[in-house]
A and B are shown apart, each in its own frame.
Chain A
């Protein structure tokens, strides 16, 4: 079946540091890939997505590139802020069923 594997957290960074959160997936066919973010006390919200190989999703300074050859969709940001502290979820959908989520990675950014 479909699955998503994310790096375990928490990830603790200082403000303005470079962020990478790794995400790899297993799926049949050609899934769409997503990053969702959950700020403290809130539900999830879509951060970015990519629907085909080599697509780059971007939003709020975050980027992720759909790499079919390595089945990966790593999240990156060049300079994190304290306000980026949240839990980040990688997810996929093949269209045949609802989203399959990874286990989430907590990011803590210190001033």
Chain B
């Protein structure tokens, strides 16, 4: 059974803290993605990676960075958390070669920044 796991379901951090969100997939997928989900806005792409150490900015990369040192792991970093980064964060992965392949999602991390 395919699986994408995220390190935390719920997280509460203070303004200015550095925050790490971890995502691990066990399907040997080349592509991995980070989205944030906000009511009325759907999912917006923050960053994606199509190979180890490779990354591309999505629609809303400001205030975020990513790291992909191993194929199965893709980390999202909030360098200095702010209250407007309170959101649900979803990680996904897919096969490489095409961005039209099905994406498999993790359960999400609900981050609250106070």
Instruction: Assess whether B33 is interfacial by the CB under 8 Å rule.
Output: yes
Contacts of A89 in B (CB 8 A): 42-43
* In the assembled complex, A95 has its CB within 8 A of some CB on chain B: yes
Over the window 34-55 of chain B, the binary record of Cβ atoms lying under 8 Å from chain A Cβ atoms (1 yes, 0 no) is 0100001111110010000000
Q: How many residues of A contact B (CB 8 A)?
A: 24
Tell me whether B100 and A51 are in contact (CB under 8 A).
Answer: yes
Question: What is the 8 Å Cβ interface bit string for chain B, positions 76-114, against chain A (1 contact, 0 not)?
Answer: 000000000000001010000011101111111000000
Q: How far is the CA of A95 from the CA of B104 in the complex (A)?
A: 16
The listed residue (B35, B43, B48, B103) touching A46 by CB distance below 8 A is: B103
Contact A43 B33 (CB under 8 A): no
Chain B's interface: helix, strand, loop or mixed, by majority? strand
Where the two chains meet, the residues of B that have a C-beta atom closer than 8 Å to any C-beta of A are: 4, 31, 33, 35, 40-45, 48, 56, 58, 90, 92, 98-100, 102-108
**Given A44-B105, A45-B105, A96-B42 contact (CB < 8 Å):** no
